[in-house]
Amino acid sequence: MAVKVLLRVLAGESYAASALDSALQAAKLPGRDSGLATHIVYGALRYAPTLQAVLTPMLTEDTHPKVRALLLAGAFEKLILGTPAHAVVSEYVNLARDARFAPPALVNAVLRRVALPPETEETRTALPAWMIRVYRAAYGEDAEPVMADLLTPQPLWLSLSEAGERLLEEEGSEVFSGPNSVRRVALARPLRESAAYMQGEAQPINPASLACVDALGDVDGVRVLDLAGGMGIKAAMLAARGANVTSVDVMPHKHDAARTNLARLGLSADFITHDLTTPLDLPPAALVLLDAPCTGSGTLRSHPEIKLRLTPQAVAQMAALQARMLPHAAAAVAPGGVLVYSVCSVMPQEGQDVIGAFLAAHPDFAPDPLPDLQLPTVSAGAGVLTVPEHGIDGFFIARMRRLS
């Protein structure tokens, strides 16, 4: 199952999370087996650049993607997970033969021979040189532990009410501490089957994602525009804090998912379908959040496949889209009001550069001090970057005030 999921993700057909989720739901594996399948999929993707560097010279250009996916999983088990080599070889040869996935003799030869490459920065971090430079520039001395952390399994973060915490513990889940109202949780059963989730007492959210909401300050009783609101994770947090939320996104099906999720949480918001690269015809609001579409480069621990696809050209394209959306978000801010811009990316082009160019062209806006985000951050131009360590995502967050 892990190999089939890897095949879909490597072909660019799906993100790992959704491909794995549907495969796990269909397969109904016992808990330990689904844990192992999850570990193989994410681990193989996290280490893929390093593992592919040693596998590729042993293959030919026309080696089938199925064979590549199978060998990637096998190499991960042998070289990173530390499964005994003879067990990996025999299991993957059987799999290749029984599932008709690959020529067994090839699998046997490659998995016997494959070994870790000599250590360089790139093989150690499983990141391309240009991304290593981005991490070093953003985090300085902290870059090394940050990049090491990106290779480890991602914890589950839940925003929990007291009742939610109690319900999870009653089911045998472990609830650990966490920043803000978010807790790190080790689940005893799938989240969607837990009473806490079904009763609307738990919402998955990364602490850095919640920090974007924190950046708005006190929202209780305030009308808030949640621009690029997507499936409404931040809209839910805003509504839970008493905001009167209008969520805008270009994709109507995301509104449906957001409405369903808000209803589960006993919350509500208004939804507007609109392309934010064009003017937004809404009365100005005191608080506006633009959580812009981005490359997701700050989420490599939970979405390791992103690093396999990301190119400097894709970063530039995303930055151009963000720069087109920001002035329309700004026009929706009432005089004296606040605009928060956030992206789950650590690329300077999508964060500080977009904001720097915006502020230079809009003298009616000025950087405004951020409230305490309760997370480690480093400064990045007129905003901050959260430090993507210990399972916290890397977000760029800037807060600006409209002066007139």
Ligand X SMILES: C[S@@+](CC[C@H](N)C(=O)[O-])C[C@H]1O[C@@H](n2cnc3c(N)ncnc32)[C@H](O)[C@@H]1O
**Which residues are marked as active site?**
344
User: Of the two residues 299 and 352, which places its CB atom closer to ligand X in the complex?
Assistant: 299
Residue 249 annotated in ligand binding: yes
- Locate tokens 């430079």: which residue? 133
User: Of the two residues 68 and 307, which places its CB atom closer to ligand X in the complex?
Assistant: 307
Q: Are 370 and 338 in contact (CB under 8 A)?
A: no
- For ligand X, the binding residues (CB under 6 A) are 228-234, 249-251, 254, 275-277, 291, 293
Kind and range of the H or E element at 159? strand 156-160
The tokens of 224 are what?
């808030």
Cβ 206 to ligand X, closest distance in Å? 10
Cβ 5 to ligand X, closest distance in Å? 23
User: By C-alpha distance, which of 297, 383, 296, 308 is closest to 340?
Assistant: 383
Q: DSSP secondary-structure letter at 384?
A: E
Cβ 159 to ligand X, closest distance in Å? 12
Q: DSSP secondary-structure letter at 47?
A: T
User: Of the two residues 232 and 383, which places its CB atom closer to ligand X in the complex?
Assistant: 232
User: By C-alpha distance, which of 233, 190, 228, 243 is closest to 208?
Assistant: 233
Q: Are 142 and 186 in contact (CB under 8 A)?
A: no
User: Of the two residues 13 and 275, which places its CB atom closer to ligand X in the complex?
Assistant: 275
- How many whole angstroms separate alpha carbon 48 and alpha carbon 310? 14
Cβ 39 to ligand X, closest distance in Å? 27
Q: Which residue is nearest to ligand X (CB)?
A: 230
Cβ 215 to ligand X, closest distance in Å? 13
The tokens of 365 are what?
């806006």
The tokens of 95 are what?
């799999």
Buried b (16+ CB within 10 A) or exposed e, 154-187: bbebbbbbeebbebbeeeebebeebbbbbbbbeb
User: Of the two residues 163 and 272, which places its CB atom closer to ligand X in the complex?
Assistant: 272
Binding-site annotation: residue ranges? 249, 275, 291
Binding-site annotation: residue ranges for S-adenosyl-L-methionine? 249, 275, 291
